[in-house]
Amino acid sequence: RKYATEEPDRIARIRVPIKINEVAEAIGVEQDMIFGRVFYHFNKKYSYKDEKGDITTFFITDKFEGLSVNFALVASTLAEMKQEKQKADQYLIVSGTGIALSIFAIILAVL
């Protein structure tokens, strides 16, 4: 099925086509780099098998429709990555504050 922009069915809403050439151009790298990263890294890392044995893939190449990603999986992956970054930023702030307080305490002790 072609990706339908008007009244898409369930599959069309889940599998969203991507244009590797446009992504590569926007980032400023070769198309092979984008394809390799998405197909070999993201697909391996984020695809999963459910309890029934069905495999949900991050990225798919369809002979007739081209390249597409699982939109729901991409959205949840990005949300998870954003949450991890926020945690890391919080840890850095707490650590930086602790170091600053320690330095301040040492300066007060020396004076």
Q: Residues 18-44: what's their mean pLDDT?
A: 90
What is the secondary structure of 2-19 as a DSSP string?
A: PPPSSS--HHHHHEEE--
Q: Letter for the amino acid at 18?
A: I
Higher pLDDT, 63 or 33: 33
Residue 29 banded pLDDT, cuts 50, 70, 90:
very high
User: Is pLDDT above 50 for 91?
Assistant: yes
Higher pLDDT, 28 or 9: 28
Q: Residues 16-36: what's their mean pLDDT?
A: 90
Higher pLDDT, 5 or 77: 77
List pLDDT tens digits, range 49-58.
888 888 888 8
Residue 38 banded pLDDT, cuts 50, 70, 90:
confident
Collapse the DSSP code of 30 into the 3-class scheme (helix H, G, I; strand E, B; otherwise coil) and give the result.
Answer: coil
- Give 3-state DSSP helix, strand, coil % of the chain, rounded to 5: 60, 15, 25
Q: E strand or H helix at 35, and its extent?
A: helix 31-36
Q: Residues 26-42: what's their mean pLDDT?
A: 90
Q: How do the domains of the chain map onto residue ranges?
A: 10-80
The answer to whether 88 and 79 are in contact (CB under 8 A) is: no
